[in-house]
């Protein structure tokens, strides 16, 4: 096989459990974002835009949607004669058959894939961030500094720094120390989970730590490299970068796209974001419809009112329906006379006529107050909500619900109905 | 599938006015995200025709750009594929295509080297959906030499720009008049034909010997009594684009829910080149009613009974009514556009007024655009 200077390994096997019912049936990188995209489109588009044409995508949790989305990589121009995209699921072998037990373990189990391209450098990416980044200039930085491992970092407000892995670097950007979620951070440079390794260095570390349970880049590989006095550098990134790991940050990142001039601009010719497009026909806005401060995907038909919302592709929104501050993912059918407020509705869901979602006063979630802590009604994909019911705030619903699931036609704030996913 | 596909996409029509300056009719943008030729190409791929030739001649740059990869229509397979056949200089021929028959004759090698028994010929300027398998079945059942797809139009429609057909009770064509002054019937040819490949080769060679060049006048009309030529009537939506008015009307038809559902919601789908544009964005001040909005648009003003094609920017306080705004048009603030077709990539200054009055005005504006 032709030698590649750098190949990318994209970690896409995580569940993203803090997205609650949104990831009941799909891996987090396959969750919709910004109307027509999925989260994984951002790192994949960054790869092809940076000239990285060989990408291994490591899958594990609920990979169906991810597999069908990626296909042979045609949407990202990653259908190549040499290289391109390869989906790498865990596999059985004569000894040591194992799931991917950690981020670095997943790479360890695919050393043969990497070696087949004989790369000088390996780029490690994760599939849960929204950003545009030129990996080529990060590689230039890596080469210029004769680095063994380069970690992309981003300055964060000091008071938030204790949520991240923090790098402490000298004026030459060389990393001298690092701290995982420190109580009293000594720097504001947070690791973005993006690494470039000189392959020989990473390979040596992976082999040395092969018996480490749950072998992880942040917890094991980087400390190991540091202990071996390898040259670690921090590559500072100052563009837009958003972790969409929680329902709150996911909602916020979507809503930022609606701003008059969004900080993260999808309308520029430069650095396009690619995705698999099934719908291509234009959207239809009916005579009685009203649309304000929103973005709307292809093929959607709007007969009602949409205000400050992100609507996916192929959605239909009925007459007299009002949607506010919400995210409606692709192919949802929203009936007539519905109101939806502060909600995230998963793909292919159906909402019956005259149903009201997000009414009343806020109440803490009875299902999982840590996950559902952002006053958002969250409805998993392929859910069905019957007609004429009233649903409170901060509710979680997943699965095909029927009228009898709603005593007196009501689901109070903080309540939940889970009929699909792990607990079905 | 037992047929080859040929799409005649070389044509131009002066009645398209300024719109045909930039491109052949087959490359005209239609219904927001599509081009005219997408319909014929999608019908062919959906009918499992694997080998398709597109004959181009008139200003093909835009068309070639659209057809830059055959993968959008699922051609580009190991068997068959999409063939762009343009006129070329050869040792014994230096002519442009002198007509539709001549265009096929100049590529007769392509026909001879194929092995499919039948050929489906379609214009690239028609908006329709069709399963060619059904057409072929009909053709075989009638034991026809040529089958012509035809459509009955409302009596008030001006059909002087079409071929007009009369058939007997067995659907055999008895009269065929090209663009008659006074029509004898209201059945018109849809510009879609089936013919056996060997029969086509024979007829094209004979035509060439006699110095004849046009498929309709020199084959269909000339042979109508000698050969078994049948009509296959369709009742579904079919529109042909050859004038600015027909172009305007065909686009406006997509504001009708039935037309939209027929083309977009019912399988099989119509495919087009994918552009990877962001979802359409509506800012404060957007006021959109009964309109089709394509991806990449940013709307700050009022849009009513109109089609915005891809990447259109509508400034603040604009009013756009009963108009078609083609791809990548920038419309400055406070501009009023009514009954217009705005040519693609135009930049319309702020505070201007365009109106087609009772007709349709074609707006071509190439002002300087300042992009931040």
Separation of alpha carbons B95 and B10, rounded Å: 14
Q: What is the pLDDT of residue A420?
A: 67
**CB-based contact (8 Å) between A373 and chain B?**
no
Contacts of residue B196, defined as CB under 8 A and 6 or more positions apart, other chains included, come to B117, B118, B119, B145
Query: Within 13 Å, how many C-alpha atoms sit on residue B281's CB side?
Result: 23
The distance of A265 to chain B (nearest Cα, Å) reads 9
Inter-chain touch B31–A282, beta carbons under 8 Å: yes
Rg from Cα positions in chain A = 22
Phi, psi of A30 (to 5 degrees): -95, 0
Q: Which two tokens stand for residue B251?
A: 């686009």
Grade residue A422 by pLDDT with cuts at 50, 70 and 90: very low
The answer to whether the CB of B51 falls within 8 A of the CB of B83 is: yes
Separation of alpha carbons A333 and A373, rounded Å: 27
Strands A283-285 and B291-293, by their bridges, are: antiparallel
Q: Which two tokens stand for residue A335?
A: 């009936």
pLDDT tens per residue across span A135-164: 999 999 999 999 999 999 999 988 888 888
**CB-based contact (8 Å) between A296 and chain B?**
yes
Contacts of residue A61, defined as CB under 8 A and 6 or more positions apart, other chains included, come to A13, A14, A15, A23, A27
Q: What is the pLDDT of residue B100?
A: 93
**CB-based contact (8 Å) between B127 and chain A?**
no
SS3 at position A37: strand
Inter-chain touch A289–B289, beta carbons under 8 Å: yes
**CB-based contact (8 Å) between B354 and chain A?**
no
Inter-chain touch B279–A282, beta carbons under 8 Å: no
**Closest CA relative to residue A149, chosen from A205, A213, A232:** A232
**Closest CA relative to residue A351, chosen from A406, A296, A298, A299:** A406
The distance of B273 to chain A (nearest Cα, Å) reads 9
Burial (Cβ within 10 Å: 0-12, 13-18, ≥19) of residue B369: middle
Q: What is the pLDDT of residue B372?
A: 55
Residues in chain A: 424
> Which ipTM score applies to this complex?
0.91
Place of tokens 């990831």: A23
In chain A, whose CA is at the least distance from the CA of B304?
Answer: A287
The distance of B181 to chain A (nearest Cα, Å) reads 38
Q: What is the pLDDT of residue A424?
A: 42
Inter-chain touch B31–A281, beta carbons under 8 Å: yes
**CB-based contact (8 Å) between B157 and chain A?**
no
DSSP string, A292-330: ESEEE-TT-EE-SEEES-EE-TT-EE-TT-EEES-EE-T
The answer to whether the CB of B345 falls within 8 A of the CB of B309 is: no
**CB-based contact (8 Å) between B32 and chain A?**
yes
Residues 285-304 of B with CB under 8 A from A: 286-296, 298, 303
**Closest CA relative to residue B279, chosen from A302, A33, A39:** A33
The distance of A172 to chain B (nearest Cα, Å) reads 34
User: Using CB atoms, which residue from A275, A295, A299 is nearest to B264?
Assistant: A299
User: Using CB atoms, which residue from A267, A280, A292 is nearest to B274?
Assistant: A280
Inter-chain touch A292–B286, beta carbons under 8 Å: yes
Strands B324-325 and B340-342, by their bridges, are: parallel
Residues of B in contact with A36 (CB under 8 A): 278-279, 295
Q: Which two tokens stand for residue A202?
A: 């990473």
Q: Which helix (H) or strand (E) holds A7?
A: strand A6-11
Q: What is the pLDDT of residue B314?
A: 97
Beta-carbon neighbour count of residue B187 at 10 Å? Answer: 23
Contacts of residue A233, defined as CB under 8 A and 6 or more positions apart, other chains included, come to A141, A142, A145, A147, A149, A150, A151, A169, A173, A174, A175
In chain B, whose CA is at the least distance from the CA of A295?
Answer: B281
pLDDT at A96 over 90: no
pLDDT at A423 over 80: no
User: Using CB atoms, which residue from B33, B281, B293 is nearest to A285?
Assistant: B293
Residues in chain B: 372
Q: What is the pLDDT of residue A176?
A: 94
The answer to whether the CB of A296 falls within 8 A of the CB of B282 is: yes
Separation of alpha carbons A66 and A252, rounded Å: 23
**Closest CA relative to residue A377, chosen from A396, A359, A361:** A396
**CB-based contact (8 Å) between A290 and chain B?**
yes
Q: What is the pLDDT of residue A164?
A: 86
Inter-chain touch B289–A277, beta carbons under 8 Å: no
**Closest CA relative to residue B232, chosen from B167, B302, B295, B284:** B167
| Sequential pLDDT tens for chain B (372 residues) | 799 999 999 877 788 888 988 889 999 999 999 999 999 999 999 999 999 999 998 888 899 999 988 989 999 888 889 999 998 888 888 888 999 999 999 999 999 999 999 999 999 999 999 999 999 999 999 999 999 999 999 888 888 889 999 999 999 999 998 888 887 789 999 999 999 999 999 999 999 999 999 999 999 999 989 999 999 999 999 999 999 999 999 999 999 999 999 999 999 999 999 889 999 999 999 999 999 999 999 999 999 999 999 999 999 999 999 999 999 999 999 999 999 999 999 999 999 999 999 999 999 998 888 765
Q: Which helix (H) or strand (E) holds A121?
A: strand A121-126
The answer to whether the CB of A170 falls within 8 A of the CB of A187 is: no
pLDDT tens per residue across span A26-44: 999 999 999 999 999 999 9
């Amino acid at each position: 096989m032709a030698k590649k200077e750098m190949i990318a390994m994209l970690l896409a096997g995580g569940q993203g459990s803090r997205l609650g019912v949104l990831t009941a049936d799909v891996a987090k990188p396959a969750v919709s974002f910004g109307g027509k995209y999925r989260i994984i489109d951002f790192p994949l588009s960054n790869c092809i835009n940076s000239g990285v044409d060989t990408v291994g995508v490591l899958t594990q949790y609920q990979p169906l949607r991810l597999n069908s989305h990626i296909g042979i990589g045609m949407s990202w121009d990653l259908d190549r004669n040499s290289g391109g995209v390869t989906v790498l699921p865990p596999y059985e072998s004569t000894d040591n058959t194992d799931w991917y037990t950690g981020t670095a373990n997943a790479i360890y189990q695919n050393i043969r894939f990497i070696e087949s391209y004989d790369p000088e450098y390996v780029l490690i990416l994760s599939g849960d961030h929204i950003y545009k980044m030129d990996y080529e200039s990060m590689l230039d930085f890596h080469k210029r500094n004769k680095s063994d491992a380069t970690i992309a970092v981003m300055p964060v407000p000091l008071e938030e720094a204790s949520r991240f892995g923090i790098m402490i670097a000298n004026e030459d950007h060389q990393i001298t120390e690092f701290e995982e979620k420190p109580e009293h951070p000594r720097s504001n440079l947070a690791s973005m989970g993006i690494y470039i390794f000189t392959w020989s260095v990473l390979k040596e570390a992976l082999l040395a730590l092969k018996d480490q349970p749950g072998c992880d880049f942040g917890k094991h590989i980087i400390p190991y490299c540091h202990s071996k006095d390898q040259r670690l550098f921090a590559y500072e990134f100052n563009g837009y970068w958003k972790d969409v790991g929680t329902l709150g940050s996911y909602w916020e990142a979507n809503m930022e796209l609606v701003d008059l001039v969004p900080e993260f601009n999808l309308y520029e010719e430069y650095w396009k974001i690619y995705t698999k497009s099934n719908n291509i026909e234009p959207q239809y806005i009916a005579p009685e419809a009203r649309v304000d401060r929103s973005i709307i995907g292809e093929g959607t038909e709007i007969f009602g009112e949409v205000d400050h919302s992100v609507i996916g592709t192929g959605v239909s929104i009925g007459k007299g329906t009002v949607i506010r501050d919400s995210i409606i993912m692709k192919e949802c059918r929203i009936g007539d006379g519905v109101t939806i407020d502060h909600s995230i509705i998963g793909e292919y869901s159906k909402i019956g006529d005259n149903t009201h979602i997000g009414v009343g006063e806020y109440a803490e979630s009875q299902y999982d107050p840590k996950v559902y802590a952002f006053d958002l009604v969250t409805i998993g994909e392929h859910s069905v909500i019957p007609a004429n019911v009233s649903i409170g705030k901060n509710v979680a619903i997943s699965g095909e619900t029927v009228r009898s699931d709603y005593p007196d036609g009501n689901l109070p704030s903080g309540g939940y109905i889970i009929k699909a996913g792990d607990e079905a | 599938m037992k047929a080859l596909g040929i799409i005649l996409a070389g044509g131009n029509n002066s009645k398209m006015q300024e719109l045909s300056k930039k491109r052949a009719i087959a490359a005209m943008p239609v219904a927001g995200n599509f081009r005219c030729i997408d319909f014929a190409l999608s019908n062919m791929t959906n009918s499992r025709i694997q080998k398709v030739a597109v004959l181009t001649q008139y200003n093909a740059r835009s068309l070639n750009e659209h057809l830059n990869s055959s993968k959008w229509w699922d051609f580009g397979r190991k068997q068959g594929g999409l063939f762009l056949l343009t006129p070329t200089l050869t040792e014994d021929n230096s002519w442009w295509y002198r007509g539709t028959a001549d265009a096929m004759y100049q590529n007769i090698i392509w026909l001879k080297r194929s092995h499919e028994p039948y050929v489906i010929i379609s214009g690239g300027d028609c908006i329709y959906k069709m399963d060619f398998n059904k057409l072929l079945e009909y053709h075989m059942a009638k034991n026809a030499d040529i089958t012509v797809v035809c459509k009955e139009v409302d009596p008030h429609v001006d059909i002087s720009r079409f071929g007009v057909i009369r058939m007997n009770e067995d659907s055999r064509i008895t009269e065929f008049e090209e663009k008659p002054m006074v029509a004898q019937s209201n059945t018109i040819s849809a510009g879609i034909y089936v013919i056996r490949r060997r029969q086509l080769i024979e007829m094209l060679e004979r035509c060439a010997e006699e110095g004849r060049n046009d498929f309709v006048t020199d084959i269909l009309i000339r042979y109508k009594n000698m050969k078994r030529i049948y009509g296959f009537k369709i009742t579904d939506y079919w529109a042909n684009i050859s004038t600015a008015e027909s172009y305007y009307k065909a686009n406006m038809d997509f504001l009708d829910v039935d037309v939209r559902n027929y083309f977009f919601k019912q399988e099989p789908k119509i495919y087009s080149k994918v552009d990877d544009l962001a979802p359409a964005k509506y800012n404060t001040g957007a006021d959109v009613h009964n309109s089709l909005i394509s991806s990449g648009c940013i709307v700050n003003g009022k849009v009513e009974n109109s089609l915005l094609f891809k990447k259109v920017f509508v400034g603040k306080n604009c009013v756009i009514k009963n108009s078609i705004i083609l791809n990548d048009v920038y419309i400055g603030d406070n501009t009023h556009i009514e009954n217009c077709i705005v040519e693609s990539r135009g930049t319309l200054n702020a505070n201007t007024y365009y109106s087609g009055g009772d007709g349709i005005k074609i707006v071509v504006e190439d002002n300087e655009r300042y992009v931040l």
